[in-house]
Amino acid sequence: MRTFGPYVVLQPLPGLDAGATEGPVQALRAVDRLSGMPALLYLLPPGGEIGPVPDSAWLLPLTDTGREAGQPYALTELSPLAAPASNPEQTARGALEALAALHAAGRPHGGVGPAQLWLVDGQVRLAGAGLPWRAGVTPQDDLRDLAATLDHLGVRPAALQRLEQLSAQEALDLLNAPPPPPRARPMRRAQPTREAPASSVAVSPQPQPVSAPPEPVSPVVEVMPPPIPVQERPQASPVPDLQDAAPQPLRGAAEVIVIGEPDPAETTLLADPRPAPAAPPVIPEPIRIGFDDLPPFEPPPPMDFLAEAAPVTAPPPTPPVPVEPAPRAAARTPRNEPVRIGWEEDHSWRVVKAVPGSGRPSARRTALPLAVAGVLVLLGAGYWGYRSASSAPAVAAVCCDVPFQVSGAAAKVQVTVEEAPAGSALKEGSVLGTAPGTLHFPDTPGPYRLRLSAPGYAPMYTVVRMPSSAPVRISLK
């Protein structure tokens, strides 16, 4: 388990696995061992310089830098709920906002990849800006890396299909542009159909006997150039008798047969191209039930029912109960004797007084001796405490002995004070002792930050709050 200052490395992050070239910067996922906050730890190459970064809410800034065993590192703290970005459209919007700010300042990123895009507070932000990822990087390299990252996460947004050929601001404008409104389909006006002018007249043949074979009859055609034809409603022809009608012969194929009346809509189009006014709706007559269609109703004659009813006897009147006036409460005697009031069996009041001489003592007379006794007890307790404090010898102020236990390798662990509360005899850098063993702390209460160091191990830090006698367990692995 490697440590860099107060940070412990958990696992290495994947590099630019979306298609970009690996750089000299190694990204690690770490945690602060004191606060437990997650962080991104970057191991920098020797001599690598950190460039300036513009102030943007879409960029995760570097919060700490340092050097551990000759290895320079930089660190970016994350929120406890931060997670790697996974939504392509949300990732594209956050990354383009960050890259637009970087490119406007003339600072390409150089390390765009899934490991540098994090979802923080509902928005995707870009980390690792200003680090020496690689030399000679251009803004188009960042956009190519972002396009490969979006393809790695899922389906690229439709507006960013040509992302490699655009700038960050142009791609952001395309992504934020509202979708085009749906194109309305042109309405096609129905063309009125024209009928050919009635230029032929059908002549029905004469009926022939059944024995004679049917002969085709050619219709007589008269060609006339009438202007606008106006069709008249034909008169209703009488219904022929089916029994007396003779069988009709078969007609030829060239004969024109007209059945029924023409369509009213077609007639209107032929006569007048303008639409006819709509006819008023026909309201049918309401169906009346139970009015004039029923015969007149004659009620039956009334029937008289006679019966002898027994006379109703009124109950005898109840004599009024005399209401006795409520007895007045007896006035309190000077001795404050108790009075009890109850009910008799005949529902009358009963007043019972205590036997003379058996009354309880007055509360006021009882409280006065109790108050005097309480004051005397308090005075005696104060005097006794004062005498015991003055007669007790001065005792040296001591506090706590805390046992330190070491498990694992057999090695001595040196315990050094890093921070002590104000007024304590221990100062920063004071050696408290070695573990295993029992170490003595002074009487000053508060937190003591201790440094635990052993040969061959990285130093660890812990906090012990005094007063306490709980053992401190140290495990060497």
pLDDT in tens, 267-280: 444 445 565 566 67
187 is a domain residue: no
For the chain, the 3-state helix, strand and coil shares in percent, each to the nearest 5, are: 20, 20, 60
Report how far residue 449's alpha carbon sits from residue 424's, in angstroms, rounded to the nearest whole number: 13
Q: Which residue has the tokens 């709509």?
A: 278
Give 328's DSSP letter: P
What pLDDT is stored for residue 328 in this prediction?
57
Q: Say how many C-beta atoms besides its own lie within 10 A of residue 110's C-beta.
A: 26
Q: Is residue 271 part of a domain?
A: no
Residue 265 located in a structural domain: no
The residue out of 140, 159, 175 marking a domain boundary is 175
Q: What is the pLDDT of residue 19?
A: 37
Q: Domain count for the chain, please give it.
A: 2
The verdict on pTM exceeding 0.75 is no
Q: Which pair of tokens denotes residue 239? A: 């219904």
Q: Of 39, 14, 44, whose CA–CA distance to 29 is shortest?
A: 39
Among 115, 148, 175, residue at a domain's last position: 175
CA distance to 88, 156, 214, 277, 407, per residue, from 149 (Å) = 9, 9, 88, 66, 47
CATH number at residue 409: 2.60.40.1120
475 in helix, strand or coil? strand
Given this model, what pLDDT does residue 329 score? 52
Tell me if 248 is assigned to some domain: no
Question: Which pLDDT does position 241 carry in this prediction?
Answer: 52
Position 94 scores a pLDDT of: 94
33 located within any domain = yes
Whether residue 381 lies inside any domain: the answer is no
pLDDT at 6: 87
> For the purposes of burial, counting CB atoms within 10 Å of the CB of 450, is it exposed (0-12), middle (13-18) or buried (19 or more)?
buried
In this structure, what DSSP letter does residue 277 have?
P
- Which residues of the chain are modeled with pLDDT < 50? 16-21, 196-205, 207, 209-213, 216-223, 230, 236, 240, 242-243, 245-246, 249-258, 264-271, 305-310, 331, 333-334, 355, 357-359, 391-397
Instruction: Please check whether residue 27 lies inside any domain of the structure.
Output: yes
Round to whole Å and give the CA distance between 330 and 325.
15
| 146 closest CA partner among 82, 81, 83, 102 | 102
Cβ–Cβ under 8 Å, residues 59 and 95: no
Q: Distance (Å, rounded) from C-alpha 475 to C-alpha 407?
A: 5
Q: Domain residues for 75? A: 3-175
Q: What pLDDT is attached to residue 131?
A: 93
Q: Which residue, among 321, 463, 323, 311, has the nearest Cα to 402 in the 3D structure?
A: 463
Of 110, 143, 175, which residue is a domain's last? 175
Separation CA 45–CA 73 (nearest Å): 9
Within a domain: residue 137? Answer: yes
DSSP state of 431: E
